Amino acid sequence: MRMLLNIQIPNEPFNTLVREGRIGELMQKILEDMKPEAIYFTEQQGKRGAVAVVDIADPSAIPALAEPWFLKLDADCELRIAMLPEDLMKAGLDALGDKWK
């Protein structure tokens, strides 16, 4: 199941890790473990953030994606299911439209 992991990172402890020269190693470890299809770092509400595209086989994999961000960076994480166009085509929207007219 493809999901979007939206990560909002507060200034602390990130700033301290940057000043100590430890953020690169930590980020590398987190990203190697989560193996995102893609990740984009961006600003979110005036703070650091990221959006990762991940593919998981089972919902039980969700804690392994989010916990490193929670535990190491005090980040907020939101997960959303994401579909490719072909996934949407398999959804049977026309039949659903007929059913719920």
pTM score, whole prediction: 0.87
**Which residues are within 8 A (CB) of 43 and not within 5 positions of it... i.e. 6 or more apart?**
49
For the stretch 1-54, pLDDT in tens is 999 999 999 999 999 999 999 999 999 999 999 999 999 999 999 999 999 999
- The single-letter DSSP state of residue 1 is -
pLDDT of residue 18: 98
The whole-number pLDDT of residue 94 equals 92
CATH topology for 2-99 is: Alpha-Beta Plaits (3.30.70)
CB 27 within 8 A of CB 39: no
Rounded to a whole number, what is the distance in angstroms from the first to the last CA of the chain?
29
Task: Delimit the domains of the chain by residue range.
Answer: 2-99
Closest by Cα among 26, 6, 18, 27 to 76: 6
pLDDT digits (tens, 9 = 90+) for 73-87: 999 999 999 999 999
pLDDT reported for residue 36:
98
